Amino acid sequence: MNRRLVVVTLPLALVLGVCGGGDPAGTADAGRPVERSVAAEPTTSPAPTGAPVPQARLDRRLRDAAWANDVARARRLIRQGADVDAKDETEQSAYLIATSEGHLDLLRLALRHGAEVNDKDSWNGTGLIRAAERGHGLVVGELLRAGIDRDHVNRIGCQAIHEAVWLGEDTASYVTTVRVLAAGGVQLDMVSPSAGLTPLQMARERGYAGLGRILSNVTTAEKPADANAALLRAARTGNADAVAVALRAGADVEARDDHQRTALLLASTYDHVAVAEVLVAMGADPDALDDRHDTPWLVTGVTGSVAMLEALLPANPDLTIENRYGGLSPIPAGERGHVDYVRRVVQTDVDIDHVNDLGWTSMLEAIILGDGSEPYQEIVRILLDAGADRSIADREGVTPLQHAEQRGYDEIADLLRR
């Protein structure tokens, strides 16, 4: 019976001895594995066709799918009866693996199928602690919104905020994670028994100026008299720390201004990506329409911000919602010559052949409203490579090729003749 080698690495907490100090139970931690392989299924003959798969095998296969972030396979196994909370000998389950590895779609699948949100790992830690330690801000937000115990202390005396700071880094992912934890209302002033430090003191001890500034801003800010107004103001100006303060004070993440713009729409309009990352993690709607029929997602086609596009995609925006001109985001992007945006958006499921109320596709807008320069040539090239239909004509029956020829855009015409 052949099996793959099992490799287990020590957690960073054990190595550092602070916010750690060893596992009293002597169990193997999988909270922060650097490398891992799991035992393969025995290479014996499979169960007869049609025979039920033993529960233990289903559960093991689901954990393997979780490590691989194979959501499609996990979905099939769950339909067959695999348990998202079933653990192996190291107290790992598919649900807990999703939290520590940052597998957002897998986590959502597990939660939809009854995952015990407050289940514990071998360190008596929740998924929130595991996700915070790794800097998975989106997973942290998902868990907070699912009702996880936000202030649970594991057996080594750490809350999620402690592990995010002490075992984290002063990088963008941990900056977002700490802001999301703060926005979600976690306790920020508890002294970790093992480290003897508060989260802010931890940040200063580590020399993490970014995390320290966030924690200082949040813990010293006065509670806003009007949390919703404070949220909208912070989103408009790009103050991500103030966004966390407003949400912590009870602001409605879907609060709207006089033009029905939400905080996320304001962040998208002014390209405040750090703000959007916090709002998305806290469940902001990427499809919220304002009085001009814009949404946070649709605005990205106007601004051409690839970073904002990436920030919004985890919120699963509806790519079929049309703007006030009946267009999808690639159409204004084509008009404005946003090459990098078009290159990225064609990789999504958006309809690149969509025709707006003027009778134009993204390709037609790039030709009719563009100037034939290199950016517009590249956009036409990208659209063609992505399978855009070059034969779709405007309302007068004029094709993209004919428009290019009429305007003397020889390079674009050559692309369309190929």
DSSP string, 230-256: HHHHHHHHT-HHHHHHHHHTT--TT-B
Q: Which residues contact 352 (CB under 8 A, 6 or more apart)?
A: 330, 346, 361, 362, 383, 386, 387, 388
Which residues of the chain register pLDDT less than 70?
A: 1-50
Phi/psi-derived region of residue 19, left when phi > 0, alpha when psi is between -120 and 50, beta in every other case: left
Average pLDDT, the chain: 91
pLDDT at 29: 42
What are 196's two structure tokens? Answer: 């003897």
Q: Which residues contact 215 (CB under 8 A, 6 or more apart)?
A: 165, 178, 182, 188, 199, 200, 203
What are 101's two structure tokens? Answer: 């590895």
pLDDT at 193: 86
Distances (CA, A) of 106 to 113, 135, 147, 206, 351: 11, 17, 18, 33, 26
**227-236 as b/e: b if 16+ CB within 10 A:** bbebbbbbbb
DSSP string, 173-239: HHHHHHHHHHHTT----PPPTTT---HHHHHHHHT-HHHHHHHHHHHHSPPPSSHHHHHHHHHHHT-
pLDDT at 59: 98
Dihedral sign for Cα 257, 262, 267, 269, please.
negative
The CATH architecture assigned to 319-418 reads Alpha Horseshoe (1.25)
HSE at residue 343, side-chain half, CA atoms within 13 A, is 12
pLDDT at 46: 52
CA dihedral 50, 52, 56, 61 (to 10 degrees): 40
CA distance 101 to 70: 12
pLDDT at 50: 62
pLDDT at 53: 85
Long-range CB contact pairs, 245-252, < 8 A, 24+: 245/182, 245/217, 245/218, 245/221, 247/183, 247/184, 247/278, 247/282, 248/182, 248/183, 248/184, 248/185, 248/218, 249/223, 249/224, 251/224, 251/227, 252/227, 252/228
pLDDT at 194: 85
CA distance 28 to 173: 27
Distances (CA, A) of 118 to 78, 130, 182, 396: 20, 12, 19, 61
DSSP string, 241-294: HHHHHHHHTT--TT-B-TT--BHHHHHHHTT-HHHHHHHHHTT--TT---TTS-
Domain map of the chain by residue range? 319-418
pTM of the model: 0.89
pLDDT at 217: 98
pLDDT at 52: 81
